[in-house]
Amino acid sequence: MEKKALDTTMSHAFMFPMPTVLVGTVVEGRPNYMTAAWCSPACASPPMIAVAINHIRHTTLGIKEQNAFSINVPATRQVVETDFCGIASGNKTDKSGVFTPFYGRLKVPMARECPFNVECGLHTTVDLGSHVLYIGKVEGVFADQDCAPDNNPDPVRIDPIVYIRGKYYRVGDAYADAFTTGKQYKE
Ligand SMILES: Cc1cc2nc3c(=O)[nH]c(=O)nc-3n(C[C@H](O)[C@H](O)[C@H](O)COP(=O)(O)O)c2cc1C
């Protein structure tokens, strides 16, 4: 197949699917939740998560204030609240009531309605240009009772929101096992 060269600003457009998470912070004493799709595991041991946040977001003030943030995984039933937190900024709109906060060790607000929550202490900040990559060390992980049978988070029960270029999707069916399917490869 012949290739066509695209604009380099389109480079993030191929990174799909993406997760849809809510970054929880406290800004000037008020809980704030920001929708983020540029979020990824960053290290297994110690466990770390990275999230890329534009300099202009209200959330950045909260991360600076507390040196901590939470990552909350909403379910598809929370799509309205989740999208709202990606439209409205905490600098103009009080988003503290969109979710019910609960707290772990770090005193960053986690959204009780979201089935999966992680609290992170800020480990490293990498200023990349428009966005700052915040790498957080995981200090606590919480899941709804019915979403983590055998203490393993279950993606079907969590029913996370998948983000792809301006649309929300659901997780589809599994069709192959990772780390074993490749053994069928023959040169
Ligand atoms: C689906 C979706 C994904 C988003 N992902 C990001 C992201 O990864 N990083 C970012 O800086 N902004 C992202 N945004 C934009 C922010 O969520 C939005 O600007 C929000 O109003 C910022 O809130 P704050 O000012 O209260 O922090 C996203 C918005 C939506 C709807």
CA of 172 to the centre of ligand 1 (A): 24
C-alpha atoms less than 13 angstroms from C-alpha of 32 in its C-beta half-sphere: 28
Closest atom of ligand 1 to 88 CA is: 21
The pLDDT assigned to 6 comes to 87
Write the pLDDT tens digit of every residue in 129-154: 999 999 999 999 999 999 998 899 99
Q: Where are the domains of the chain?
A: 17-175
58 falls in which pLDDT band (50, 70, 90)?
A: very high
The reported pTM is 0.97
Q: Which atom of ligand 1 is nearest to the CA of 95?
A: 26
Q: Other CB atoms closer than 10 Å to residue 47's CB: what's the count?
A: 15
35 CB under 6 A from ligand 1? yes
Atom from ligand 1 closest to the CA of residue 90: 26
Ligand 1 neighbourhood includes 59 CB (under 6 angstroms): yes
CA of 47 to the centre of ligand 1 (A): 24
Q: What is the DSSP letter of 75?
A: B
Beta strands in 144-180 (DSSP E): 162-164, 167-169
Give percent above pLDDT 90 in the chain. Answer: 91
Distance in Å, CA 33 to ligand 1 centroid: 9
Q: In angstroms, what is the span from residue 148 Cα to ligand 1's centroid?
A: 28
Residue with the smallest CA separation from ligand 1 atom 21 is 89
pLDDT, average across residues 54-74: 98
User: One-letter amino acid identity for 186?
Assistant: K
Topology, domain 17-175: Pnp Oxidase; Chain A (2.30.110)
Q: How far is the CA of 183 from the centre of ligand 1 (A)?
A: 40
Using CA atoms, how far residue 107 sits from 27, 62, 81, 86, 103, in Å, is 12, 12, 22, 23, 5
